Structure 1
Amino acid sequence: MTTRPGLSPGRIVYAGFATAHHSGGVHVMTQHVRLLREGGHEAWLWLPDQDDRTDWIPDDVPMLFGATTTIGAEDLLVLPETPTVQGRDPAPGARKVIFNQNHFYTFAAGTPGKDFPGWSPAPAVWVVSEESRDVLAAALPGLPVSHVPNPVDGELFAPSASDQLRVCWFPKKRPREASLLKRLLAGDPRLSGVDLVELVQAPRAEVAATLASTAVFVALGHTESFGLPVAEALAAGCLVVGYDGGGGHELFEAPGAWRIPDQRPLLLRDRVAALMQELNTLTPVRAANRRWVLDRYPFARTGAALEEAVAAARERPGAATVAVHPVAWLDTLGPHFTAFA
């Protein structure tokens, strides 16, 4: 990694949460940190405790640790959308951004006030999809919203030469429907001999290896702002069938992606079976999926949008303060805020 010292007038600190298993939201934060440092900024990931260091975060992502940290007058503090609690400013006076990776979680910590989030100074908002941009611009007209699209790693997520007849999906967002779907797929004679794989808490490298030899990826997203697994499946040359989750509708513009009406597992099964039967004729479509997603979501596009968003955020006021890590308010979310039907 190369850096150009002196470009950035202050640090950019991302408050994140470490998880034992790979977290897409924290992973995107680490991508931002690396892109910013490559551009000459002093960027950091801030975790609440040194023991939170997890082996899936790359060693070249520099970290800060502690329940609090000092934020300078020239610094920029980037906070997750959850838990954002009305009137509880984690860094009074500091220049702040809410990095909103899921607009459906914006008010997860309780009823918002008219001046949401009631912080001083008011934060800017960064989002990862066009849908999130439009939703939050309408819901929070007093806050500036910048679109920083997610990048897709085309080196890690790439097709292999294998002719494996495989269908895979993540059951996490719809566990009950996923169990029903698995039974439907396994019992369909049209799918005899097809490998059916559920990806459960799999390391990122394992996910990439599985997708590389997968023919059809079933999208079981729910209340998504983007749906990174769908984008990565496209990059791996998979055909995609399923639910766009709302914010992921832009990904279903890919040439080999089929949107299914919500909660219709029989329609999912039938589309998967039809595609597997036509697989020999769909090789060009799978290749077109990869080109389509990598053309639209390269790291260069993310880096350029991030530079613009940082520059705009730096124009907002900021003062030195001591910031409290948002882990202090996690209990406001309740134990089931990410549980879905």
Structure 2
Amino acid sequence: MRTITFLNPFKRSLWTGGIKTTLYHAELLHQNGFPVRIFQPDGIPDAAPDSTKPLFISELNIPNNDITIFPECLNDFLRDWIEMPEIQNKYIFCQNQYYFYAYNISTRDLERFGVKGLLCPSEFSKKSLVNVLGINPDFIHVVPCVVDREMFKSHMIKRNQIVTASRKWRGMEGIPSYSFLLRSMLHLKYPELSDIPWIMLEHQPQQLVAEAMNASTVFLSLSRLESLGLTPLEAMSARCLVVGYHGAGGLEYATPQNGFWFSPEQQEEVVDALALALNGLPAQNPVLTKMLDAGEYTASQFNVQAATTALIETYRAFCHH
């Protein structure tokens, strides 16, 4: 069977949802009998799970028949590598189509590079790639993300507080930042909620993120330009009531039944929904309880079994391509 090599050329100190997903997919494939390795020249990521560490390599020689998985950020040496005819079985794991568009890669470029397929995390992302690039839908394979239900699960006793995550796009916070703006608006319109704690999840390891979500009642979603949006799903799994932006990709799962979802222009609506959640959850408002149940069910659909089935089918097809 062909060896699958994931290219992960990032600093070992960097830990993102994309890196987490790459490692998780590599581990699932390895557990199911696929030869897998992860190329990271800077060394094993500091936050990598112990179970993935044996898969890492820091030097690379790619045999002609190997399967090579490129990230969507095709810059520096990756751009040179994807143009090399010596690397024959090239695929791109496009975890965020908006990142991919920023590199101005056309369908003609993909053909010239010899790329045999794209992978993406959602039907929303696939539809966007088809519409923008004019790619044949059969060229794109959806491999879903996984919510760790053992890590992200509710405490029996939650503190009435807001937990939120900063954005990954440079400059996305704006002037002022969205979190600061929404917090200020909430305090101005609902001064009785000024003492509600806000927990900022900036550059935190996954375990601390999970602990904060598990102990909190409300997650403020600041999702923007997403292909899916894993963090709100993790918050749903932790039985946080999600309030905020769907981030476009969140439309894959966002409904009026499982959260209060808005566009980034609806700041006042977000503030009103935050107040409704913060006032209603301690009183066990039955409508909000049903919303929590719906959110938890939504998160449960992004499970290991579904991801494993899709991965095995997809990579088995790659191996016989």
* Alignment partners' CA distance in 2, 1:114 and 1:284: 45
Residue of structure 2 in register with 1:334 after alignment = none
What is the RMSD computed on CA atoms of the aligned residues? 2.1
* Alignment partners' CA distance in 1, 2:219 and 2:303: 21
Residue of structure 1 in register with 2:7 after alignment = 15
CA contact (8 A) 2:12 2:42 kept: no
Gaps of 5+ in 2: none
Deviates more, 1:170-179 or 1:222-231: 170-179
Does structure 1 residue 198 correspond to structure 2 residue 191?
Answer: no
Matches for 1:30-109 after TM superposition, within 5 Å: 30-50=23-43, 53-61=44-52, 62-66=55-59, 69-83=60-74, 89-92=82-85, 93-109=87-103
Matches for 1:321-340 after TM superposition, within 5 Å: none
CA contact (8 A) 1:35 1:303 kept: yes
Change (3 A) 1:260 1:240: same
Three-state SS of the structure 2 residue aligned to 1:253 is coil
* Alignment partners' CA distance in 2, 1:35 and 1:180: 41
| TM superposition shift of 1:228 | 0.6
Does structure 1 residue 115 correspond to structure 2 residue 108?
Answer: yes
| TM superposition shift of 1:32 | 0.5
| TM superposition shift of 1:153 | 0.6
CA contact (8 A) 2:167 2:224 kept: no
| TM superposition shift of 1:167 | 0.8
Change (3 A) 1:186 1:42: farther
Residue of structure 2 in register with 1:335 after alignment = none
Residue of structure 1 in register with 2:22 after alignment = 29
Structure having the larger proportion of residues in helix: 2
* Alignment partners' CA distance in 2, 1:254 and 1:57: 35
| TM superposition shift of 1:129 | 0.8
| TM superposition shift of 1:91 | 4.3
Amino acid corresponding to residue 183 of structure 1 in structure 2: S
Give the TM-score taking structure 2 as reference length: 0.87
| TM superposition shift of 1:137 | 2.6
Change (3 A) 1:13 1:88: closer
CA contact (8 A) 1:230 1:251 kept: no
| TM superposition shift of 1:186 | 4.1
CA contact (8 A) 2:15 2:45 kept: no
Three-state SS of the structure 2 residue aligned to 1:117 is helix
Residue of structure 2 in register with 1:178 after alignment = 179
| TM superposition shift of 1:302 | 0.5
Change (3 A) 1:107 1:192: closer
| Greater RCO (Cα-Cα under 8 Å, separation 6 or more) | 1
Give the TM-score taking structure 1 as reference length: 0.82
Does structure 1 residue 144 correspond to structure 2 residue 139?
Answer: yes
Gaps of 5+ in 1: 1-8, 317-341
